[in-house]
Amino acid sequence: MTQRLESAMLRAGFDSAGLASAVNVDVKTVNRWLAGRIPHRRTRLQVAQALCESEESLWPSSRPDIQKGAPATAEVLAAYAHRAEIPNDLWISLLHRATERIDIIGYAYPFVFELLPNASEMIAAKCRAGCVVRLGFADPDCSHVLERDTLEQMGGTLPTGSATPYRCWDRSHTPLDAR
């Protein structure tokens, strides 16, 4: 457990004093965490965000609701039936930590811009750093969007949701080739 925190601190470029400053705690507190003490949930979330990690990856024992799988699935941390079941901090952590590839493909994903208001700037910076990014979203005026909205009984909200990326994406930030 301590190794996870130490490794995350190294990846993020933090020493004990830097992490203490980032989450507004005493250096002694960070040293206690490194010795094995688990911080309170609110502080765990702050630390995870500062280190661009998920709470579960830093302190797996703090989440008894996440049980280990069988040996054949040991590398699978969690599985979710629906996008809405995925914790917000996990989405944020995944986007912040991505260095090689980001694929966001679906009819609409307004939640990305709700969770990260600076998503277009962050993704553009990742593109410039060599990360391969694919953003695929539906044309809000397409008949298939209306069909899907009816099929899913969404009451006309899918066309509005699928327009969100068009409104939020600032193409001046990025060399992305829109197709």
Which fold is adopted by the domain 2-62? 434 Repressor (Amino-terminal Domain) (1.10.260)
d(CA 150, CA 22): 47
What was the pLDDT predicted at 76?
64
d(CA 116, CA 104): 14
The three-state secondary structure class of 171 is helix
What was the pLDDT predicted at 17?
96
What was the pLDDT predicted at 70?
47
Q: What is the pLDDT of residues 128-178, one digit of tens each?
A: 899 998 887 777 777 877 787 787 787 877 666 666 565 556 555 555 554
Higher model confidence: residue 111 or residue 159?
Answer: 111
Mean per-residue pLDDT for 75-97? 81
Q: Which amino acid is at 30?
A: V
φ, ψ of residue 103 to 5 degrees: the values are -125, 115
pTM for the predicted model, two decimal places: 0.48
Which percentage of the chain shows pLDDT scores above 70? 78
Higher model confidence: residue 34 or residue 158?
Answer: 34
d(CA 136, CA 165): 10
Q: Where are the domains of the chain?
A: 2-62, 98-173
